[in-house]
């Protein structure tokens, strides 16, 4: 039976003990998600209740990890969410789970804050997954570097991904220095590889044989030392009870787009909307002809560029959304949602389709990344912490109401458009960073806030 989400568990006043492991790597593309998913599936198959978390503002890896563990996967992000919220989520999970797994982001020390910061702060022992293609005894040097780059970092050992043969594994073991454990490896086999596209892994719902891949990897991992239950970690309770947010959305119904074209939604965002008093209904811009009765609409990011003809051809839904906006009802759109609101969207091969035309302008997919990183939006009601990650560019004469402020450089941030109840931007906001500002996105705008 699936474990309830953190929003449904009340924080206790004492620390909670639960075995936990942090899965990291020297960099991206070493197989962290494959190994984390397989490890979650293995322990789940043994009857354990497993909770998995993903470090950083990732939408795609959590879909794989949720399928593997059978439970909701929440993000842990020290900047967007803050330390207290990360502690609360882990403490709540520890009260109901038999095992907690946290998958890192990029390399162990990449970014600021980085995976190592989170693992150290929460005192979770770490294991590094290393793609060993073209590597033998040097694996030991990689492990030594990861363990000693930051004195005292709790690295428990290494797990090799892509082992070519028994002899290859012998050489990997030979290079391991004293104090660094070799915890086993997975063979080099495409049956374990998770398919990718331009924003990362293909979402779980689109991989027809995903369970077979995870199960096969889980069987192999179950025979390694990595599968041993880690030692319990003491997860501290929040220092103070977080007061319930004001019921700013009481009585409001929000229609949330959710399908293959629009699926980039932080579960914590939906939790916060409910805590604010809103009721949520879900609909598909791809397949539904009718917009559910609602006071406001949430169009999250996703892959509209992969579904151009379906979105263009669903005239009934397009008209329903156009009428919603024409009536001045609130609509909030992020990234892919922004693209859907424009007049047209072209994919990277030049195929073009008509979108809603609620906002003037067009978008074109590019072959290289166009936006990445943390930003914040200072709204009258508060400052929302956000993240951006997109391959498209837009051309529009619209004047932005706000400009995102980048965390680490002074170049111009993403534009935020506000017009007749519509708020649209490339940024993905974490709503709990400012509940008041988040609520304002789904309430009628004051005339002084609107920008034509």
**In 3D, which of 157, 169, 219 has the Cα closest to residue 192?**
219
How is the chain split into domains, by residue range?
Answer: 16-235, 253-440
- pLDDT value at position 196? 74
The first and second tokens of residue 389, run together, are 């990650």
Q: Does domain 253-440 correspond to CATH entry 3.40.50.880?
A: yes
Q: Can you tell me the distance from the alpha carbon of 104 to that of 110, in angstroms, rounded to the nearest whole number? A: 10
- pLDDT value at position 416? 97
- pLDDT value at position 237? 86
- pLDDT value at position 244? 85
Where does 16-235 sit in CATH, by number? Answer: 3.40.50.300
Are the C-beta atoms of residues 309 and 353 closer than 8 Å to each other? yes
Note whether 16-235 and 253-440 share their fold. yes
- pLDDT value at position 21? 98
> Residues 18, 86, 325, 335: which is the catalytic one?
335
Are the C-beta atoms of residues 229 and 241 closer than 8 Å to each other? no
Q: What angle do CA 401, 407, 413 make, to 5 degrees?
A: 30
- pLDDT value at position 10? 44
Supply the pTM of this predicted model. Answer: 0.92
**Composition of the chain by helix, strand, coil, percent to 5:** 30, 25, 45
86 in active site: no
Q: What are the residue ranges in the chain where pLDDT is below 70? A: 1-13, 190-192, 197-199, 446-452
End-to-end Cα, the chain, rounded Å: 50
């Amino acid at each position: 039976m699936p474990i309830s989400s953190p929003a449904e568990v009340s924080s206790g006043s004492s620390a909670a003990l639960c075995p936990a492991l942090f899965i990291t790597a020297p960099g991206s593309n070493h197989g962290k998600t494959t190994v984390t998913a397989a490890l979650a599936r293995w322990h789940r198959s043994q009857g354990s209740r497993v909770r998995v978390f993903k470090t950083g503002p990732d939408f795609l890896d959590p879909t794989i990890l949720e399928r593997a563990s059978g439970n909701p996967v929440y993000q842990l992000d020290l900047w967007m969410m803050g330390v207290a919220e990360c502690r609360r989520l882990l403490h709540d999970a520890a009260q109901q789970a038999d095992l907690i797994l946290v998958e890192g982001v990029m390399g162990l020390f990449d970014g600021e804050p980085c995976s190592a910061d989170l693992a150290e702060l929460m005192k979770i022992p770490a294991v590094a997954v290393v793609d060993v293609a073209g590597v033998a005894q040097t694996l030991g040097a990689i492990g030594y570097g990861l363990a000693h780059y930051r004195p005292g970092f709790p690295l428990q050992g290494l797990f090799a991904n892509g082992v070519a043969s028994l002899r290859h594994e012998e050489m990997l073991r030979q290079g391991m220095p004293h104090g660094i454990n070799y915890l086993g490896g997975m063979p080099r086999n495409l049956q374990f590889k998770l398919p990718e596209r331009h924003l990362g892994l293909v979402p779980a719902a689109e991989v027809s044989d995903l369970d077979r891949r995870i199960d096969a990897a889980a069987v192999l991992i179950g025979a390694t030392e990595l599968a041993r239950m880690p030692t319990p970690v003491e997860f501290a309770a929040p220092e103070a009870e977080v007061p319930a947010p004001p019921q700013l959305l009481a009585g409001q119904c929000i229609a949330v787009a959710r399908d293959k074209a629009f699926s980039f939604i932080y579960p914590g965002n939906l939790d916060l909307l409910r805590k604010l008093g809103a009721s949520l209904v879900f609909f598909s811009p791809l397949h539904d002809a009718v917009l559910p009765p609602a006071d406001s609409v949430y169009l999250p990011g996703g892959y509209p560029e992969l579904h151009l003809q379906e979105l263009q051809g669903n005239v009934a839904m397009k008209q329903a959304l156009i009428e919603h906006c024409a009536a001045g009802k609130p609509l909030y759109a992020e990234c892919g949602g922004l693209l859907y609101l424009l007049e047209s969207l072209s994919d990277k091969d030049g195929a073009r389709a008509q979108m809603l035309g609620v906002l003037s302008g067009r978008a074109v997919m590019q072959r290289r990344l166009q936006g990445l990183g943390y930003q914040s939006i200072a709204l009258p009601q508060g400052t929302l912490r956000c993240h951006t990650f997109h391959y498209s560019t837009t051309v529009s004469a619209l004047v932005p109401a706000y400009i995102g402020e980048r965390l680490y450089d002074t170049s111009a941030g993403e534009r935020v458009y506000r017009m007749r109840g519509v708020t649209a931007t490339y940024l993905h906001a974490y709503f709990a960073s400012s509940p008041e500002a988040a609520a304002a996105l789904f309430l009628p705008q004051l005339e002084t806030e609107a920008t034509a």
